Amino acid sequence: MDEPGFRTIFEPFRIHSVEPLRLTTRAERREHLRTAAYNLFQVRAEHVLVDLLTDSGTGAMSRDQWAAIQHGDESYAGSPSYFVFADAVRELFPFEHVIPVHQGRAAEKILFSVIGGPGRVVPNNTHFDTTRANVEATGAEALDLVIPEGLDPTSDHPFKGNMDLARLEEVLTTRGDDVPCVFVTITNNSGGGQPVSLANLRGVREVCTRFGKPLYLDACRFAENAWFIREREEGQGDRDVADIVREIAALADGMTMSAKKDPMGNIGGWLALDDDDLATACRNTLILTEGFPTYGGLAGRDLEALAQGLKEVVQHDYLRYRIRSTAYLGEALRDRGIPVLSPIGGHAVYIDARRLAPHLDPLEYPGQSVAVALYELGGIRSCEIGTVMFGRRPDGTEVPAAMDLVRLAIPRRTYTQSHVDYVIEVCEALAERVDSLPGYRIVDEPRALRHFTASFEPIT
Ligand code: F0G
């Protein structure tokens, strides 16, 4: 069914096992907020009605993934489950070495501890927070080189995740000796789940080849990125998504992966690369921190589930539903006058809280205020991506982040259109009373990554 011919977004699955959602009252949620010091990471998940905190590890596995789990072989070394997993990875990303890890940041930690270090600089379109933190933890510098449109919340550029090739070339010309590799994140999560075009990836490859630098992908949402290429890039509309993914992989020398996103896992990741010496060094580090190279911090059953997930995520019916259903939410909010980052990304809708609540100063955390109000009003858990997350500088000063966003991330195959319609209704009700939302102040915060554990109170 390539073109269903009807407008309804067809969810290409039906429900086989249900998880109850317990309804809560507004009074109860007010109490939960007080207990959590207005930090949504501190709210118990059973007190959430629709959990849009993240799309990472929160998706529903399929019948066939649960069946694959029964094939898990838990041998310490050389498990057949490893080979099933490595073959499934290579079917899409034909790299020589496939090294499993427990999640994406473990792959980052291992790779950058080998190739990073003081004086080094790693260019990326936009580093995700853990990627940046793992680069910086080695003393290296993490440089974001996304195109200018990628920083403009109103630009409708179809590939806002693209790397600025001129700036990349400039960095390689002036600081080439310090660059161990170039990274591209597909899709660009920190920039709003925006895709990178095939043409841009080919351009990055050409620059890397000219300067003799390896190209790595942070490929968590590779299938969503490939679907956007098929939909938006000239000459790509008739291609099989798996084929586009293989072409992307062929442009790169290696990848890090969080298998908690497109590979449909609840846990997992990998590091894959062609360079034999680098792979040996990474495996040696892996043994110290993750485990033996044929399981890397995962159970054999996890490896089997991921192998099956990789087959499912490149199916066109799934990707059409996935991208359309995210756009459905974003478009509905936009139609109701709620400012959202455009174009709508693959895995999430980002509300522009600074524009929605202009009465709040960025240092009163408009994103936090909107996120707390969504929970209080309708039990919806979202994630502030703004001044709370990025405002504290390493020197202790506080400045407004570039944007104050609230991310509504959509877990894969988990919520129905009715749940999404409910989210739209709650957002609309919130927009009607947005003038009355209070700002927040932080009363206690840790030294780093404060958004996870800080305590807040409303400014009355
Ligand atoms: N790279 C990107 C682009 C990511 O979005 C994430 C995680 C990681 C790396 C790290 O992977 O969590 O498996 O260690 N993003 C999640 C999110 C946490 O909510 O966007 P991980």
Could you tell me the domains of the chain? 26-55+315-458 (3.90.1150.10), 63-312 (3.40.640.10)
Whether 218 lines ligand 1, by a CB cut-off of 6 Å, is: yes
In whole angstroms, give the CA distance from residue 101 to residue 267: 9
Whether 131 lines ligand 1, by a CB cut-off of 6 Å, is: yes
Whether 311 lines ligand 1, by a CB cut-off of 6 Å, is: no
Predicted local confidence at residue 390, as pLDDT: 85
Whether 103 lines ligand 1, by a CB cut-off of 6 Å, is: yes
pLDDT tens-digit map of 412-448: 999 999 999 999 999 999 999 999 999 999 999 988 7
Which pairing describes strands 50-51 and 380-381: parallel, antiparallel, or unpaired?
Answer: parallel
Predicted local confidence at residue 153, as pLDDT: 86
Predicted local confidence at residue 448, as pLDDT: 77
Strand order in the sheet with 215-218: 97-101, 269-273, 254-258, 215-218, 182-185
Most informative mutation of 220, 271, 290, 410 for ligand 1 (most atoms within 8 A of CB):
220
Which pairing describes strands 97-101 and 269-273: parallel, antiparallel, or unpaired?
Answer: antiparallel
pLDDT tens-digit map of 163-210: 999 999 999 999 999 999 999 999 999 888 999 999 999 999 999 999
Q: How far is the CA of 282 from the centre of ligand 1 (A)?
A: 20
Whether 294 lines ligand 1, by a CB cut-off of 6 Å, is: no
Q: Report which ligand 1 atom has the smallest distance to the Cα of 53.
A: 19
344, 366, 386, 422: which is closest to 48 by C-alpha?
Answer: 422
Predicted local confidence at residue 129, as pLDDT: 86
Task: Report, as ranges of residue numbers, the positions in the chain whose pLDDT lies below 70.
Answer: 1-4
Q: How far is the CA of 122 from the centre of ligand 1 (A)?
A: 18
Contact present, 345 and 390 (Cβ < 8 Å): no
Whether 126 lines ligand 1, by a CB cut-off of 6 Å, is: no
pTM assigned to the model: 0.96
